[in-house]
Chain A
Amino acid sequence: MPSLLEYSFKTRYFENFNRTKCRANGRHRLFTINLFLVATIMNGEKRIQRKMHAVEPIVNAAPHPKRNTLLILVNNENKIMVNAQIVNLAELHFKIKTFVRNNGDGSCDYCFESFRNINASDNPKEALVALDVQMETSYDTYVAIQNEVSSVFNILRNALSIRKYDLGFEDLNRAQMRDVKAKFPLLMSENVLRLN
């Protein structure tokens, strides 16, 4: 019987996985993600399980959509993994930036340089950053990741506002700020992965 986490992970991804745009390396990615998380869960199980707070029924919140989603995983040892690679904060920043500013389907007329990587988002308006942490992940890692995400969006928004309005993002008025924010919306989906 696979561990509950593996199972919930697999079914979640399989439901999304078998849509029309099926990628060949999907299974491999799933496997490495599982290996990454299971490896950390194995460490956790050596300790006595503590129930810190009222146990809720196992809910993994809403599953993340597969398309246009950049999945960032953080394990109990505060290691960050994106696309089956362990990354540090600077690399994470770069990966988020390239993911968001991509112009995958060509519909983005305000995107700089024509990044057209099919593995990244179709359009910055649809780019979703998914962040999954585990129960024992430390808060400062989490804040550091949030900081990087904010940093990416601040940079992109600032660049756009200078190009469009010739003012820094902070100096825009409400309507302009709303416009720039709509072009680079900060969409995040977060989960704390639980085992029973």
Chain B
Amino acid sequence: MAGKRAIPEINAGSMADIAFLLLIFFLVTTTMDVDKGINRKLPPYDDQLLEDPPPIKKKNIFEVLVNSNDALLVEEEYLDISRLREEAKRFLNNNGDGTCDYCDGAYRDPASSDNPDKAIISLQNDRGTSYSMYLKVQNELAAALNELRDELSVRMYGVSFVDLKDKDQIKEIKKMFPQKISEAEQLKVGS
């Protein structure tokens, strides 16, 4: 016992260094999984959306289909060409939401157009539609529009539309009954 020397103390300073090194190593390696990302908000899910709704309300579209047998399907009903003009006029003149003060709109059919400004006539032909039928349909639609414009210009300016000279007046009438005819690609329209 007498000869035993005290065990030399371990140098505490280097222990601290080792410990710090280990600590820093751990701090660095465990923050590798950075929880960052790009934030986004998804649009709410609406059952109806899945049905791919038309961007324009259906009632503002006057659907005219012509198949390869030259039969007319207007708003899902068979129609004779002779009645196309009055049906188109009735559609344009409907005034569904009451915002049109120059329409004859005694009809106010909720399933028909809101306002001539929003009304669109959609025309779809089949590959097999004859050209003459196509022309007739175009003619009837144009005639419907012209008649409406005529009636309006007589009411407003006392002159029929074709006799209007003033450019502004013409533009005015055209704006009130705009020509909005949309023609889709020729596809197979069911016969």
Q: Chain A residues in contact with chain B, CB under 8 A?
A: 1, 7, 10-11, 14-18, 20, 59-63, 65, 143, 146-147, 150, 188-189
Contacts and interface: CB of A to CB of B under 8 A. Distances in A.
Given A7-B187, A15-B182, A18-B181, 15 more contacts: A14-B184, A15-B55, A17-B182, A18-B180, A20-B178, A20-B180, A59-B50, A59-B52, A61-B49, A61-B50, A62-B52, A63-B52, A143-B38, A146-B38, A189-B43
Interface of B: 38, 40, 43, 49-50, 52-56, 120, 178, 180-185, 187-188
Contact of B49 (A15, A16, A20, A62): A62
Contact of A15 (B50, B54, B180, B181): B54
A94 B89 CA distance: 49
A11 B184 CA distance: 7
Given A18-B120, A146-B40, A63 B55 contact: yes
Nearest to A57: B50
Contacts of B182: 14-15, 17-18
Contacts of B43: 189
B43 to A, nearest CB: 8
A10 B56 contact: no
A18 B183 CA distance: 8
A60 B52 contact: yes
Contacts of A17: 182
A59 B50 CA distance: 6
Contacts of B56: 15
Contacts of A63: 52, 55
Nearest to B46: A62
Contacts of B49: 61-62
A14 B38 contact: no
23 contacts: A11-B184, A11-B185, A14-B182, A15-B55, A18-B120, A18-B182, A18-B183, A20-B178, A20-B180, A59-B50, A59-B52, A60-B52, A61-B49, A61-B50, A61-B52, A62-B49, A62-B52, A63-B52, A63-B55, A65-B55, A143-B38, A188-B40, A189-B43
Nearest to B61: A15
Contacts of A11: 184-185
B55 A14 contact: no
Contacts of B40: 146, 188
